[in-house]
Copies of this chain bind each other. A is one copy, B any other.
Amino acid sequence: MVKRPAALNMADLAERAGVSIATVSRALSGSPGVSQETRQRIKELADDLSYAVSPDAARLARGSTGRIAVVTPDVAHWFYAAMLSGIVTALHGTDLDVLLYEVKDEPQRRRFFEDLPARRQVDALILVALPISDDERRRLDLMGVTVVMAGGTLGEHPHVRIDDVAAGRQAATHLVRAGHQRIAMINSSGTWSLEYAAPSARQRGFTEALEAGGIEVHPDLVIHHQWGSHGGVKGMSELLSLPEPPTAVVTFSDEVAFGALRTLRRAGVSVPYAMSVIGIDDHHLADMFDLTTVHQPVAQQGIEAGRLAQQILEQGEVASPHITLPTHLVARGTSGPPPPGPGVRAGLPLNDHGVG
């Protein structure tokens, strides 16, 4: 295995090229706003620098391998799997193959980026909602590998994402308009030291919607649990333990909502008569839970990310490297007006959680 390259950074490259760091970033990421001549000069300089460090990296920077690496935190999880499926769909019929890397935790992520110059032979990297460090970003820039972020942002690099603030706002607004006054949020707690932007953005939208409706945000009604259905199971149990539980809940994701619904079912709390629940995602099974939710186009984000990568490899750049896809409300059976009385405390009868 080739020795791991010494750390280099974009500032060195900017200094040598006599341009700003932002220009270097744009040039290497294929973003517009850089002249063809400058782009070429910076790329050649990056190649030279890389060459001094690793012949493999230089080959990566110059040659075409016909392969794109997709890096995902979890192959089995529906969200990442749907993104991956979109990417594969976009590249179908092109000459590009997909190399798949799963990076489950920080040590695996570090190892992946350490091994990349020595071993991986790819023209581009699509990160599927994978936060990376500044140092890792600089390494990718210097290798001259096109990097696209699907389901998030990564500095100046091309990305495809949703507006998470808007998604949180749409979910909470639906409950505000239905007349709820005590609205909770079961948000996701981070598991990485590098933060995902989605939880704080969705919470911002939630807060904005309540404030716009003149509704107070109670700090004890905004709680954090681990992402996934079991986080929802625990979160709803916590909310039901409050002296004054909410009458409506926004969850970080549909899977959190599925768990919340199971707790409500087991607790005999009628949905939506005593408690409304709304998710964010429109998971492919949301309909089986009759879950009201905010739809985000997951596979479509993958498709757009695959297209961006392919176009940059083919044409050197794209006109619009930063794509935000819209989200929208999907009203199903788990949301309705607040109960006439005090909600859960009224001991409404056990009932079906999702009337059709």
Task: Write the residues of chain A forming the contact surface with B, with a CB cutoff of 8 angstroms.
Answer: 67, 70, 74-78, 81-82, 84-85, 88-89, 92, 95, 97-102, 108, 119-120, 229, 255, 258-259, 261-262, 265-266, 268, 284-285, 287-290, 299, 350-356
> How many copies altogether?
2
Query: A97 — nearest CB in chain B belongs to which residue?
Result: B99
> In the complex the two chains form, is B78's CB within 8 Å of A78's CB?
yes
> In the complex the two chains form, is A88's CB within 8 Å of B100's CB?
yes
> In the complex the two chains form, is A85's CB within 8 Å of B89's CB?
no
A61 CB to nearest B CB, Å:
19
Contact sample, A vs B, 26 pairs, CB 8 Å cutoff? A70-B100, A75-B81, A76-B78, A76-B81, A76-B84, A78-B81, A85-B102, A88-B102, A92-B102, A97-B120, A98-B100, A99-B99, A100-B100, A229-B285, A229-B287, A259-B288, A261-B288, A262-B287, A262-B288, A262-B354, A265-B290, A265-B353, A288-B289, A350-B351, A350-B352, A352-B352
A129 CB to nearest B CB, Å:
15
A67 CA / B100 CA spacing, docked (Å): 11
Q: Which of A84, A85, A95 has the most CB of B within 10 A?
A: A85
Chain B contacts for A268, CB-based, 8 A: 352
A74 CA / B266 CA spacing, docked (Å): 34
Query: A75 — nearest CB in chain B belongs to which residue?
Result: B85
Chain B contacts for A100, CB-based, 8 A: 70, 84, 88, 98-100
Chain B contacts for A70, CB-based, 8 A: 100
Chain B contacts for A74, CB-based, 8 A: 85
Given contacts A92-B102, A98-B100, contact A258 B84 (CB under 8 A): no
> In the complex the two chains form, is A285's CB within 8 Å of B265's CB?
no
**What are the 4 closest A-B residue pairs judged by CB atoms, nearest first?**
A76-B85, A266-B356, A81-B81, A75-B85
A302 CB to nearest B CB, Å:
9
Chain B contacts for A89, CB-based, 8 A: 102
> In the complex the two chains form, is A258's CB within 8 Å of B75's CB?
no
Chain B contacts for A351, CB-based, 8 A: 350, 352
Chain B contacts for A261, CB-based, 8 A: 288
Q: Which of A95, A120, A289 has the most CB of B within 10 A?
A: A289
> In the complex the two chains form, is B299's CB within 8 Å of A76's CB?
yes
Partner of A285, one of B84, B97, B285: B285
Query: A259 — nearest CB in chain B belongs to which residue?
Result: B288
A229 CA / B78 CA spacing, docked (Å): 15
A260 CB to nearest B CB, Å:
10
A94 CB to nearest B CB, Å:
12
A37 CA / B70 CA spacing, docked (Å): 41
> In the complex the two chains form, is B75's CB within 8 Å of A265's CB?
no
Chain B contacts for A284, CB-based, 8 A: 76
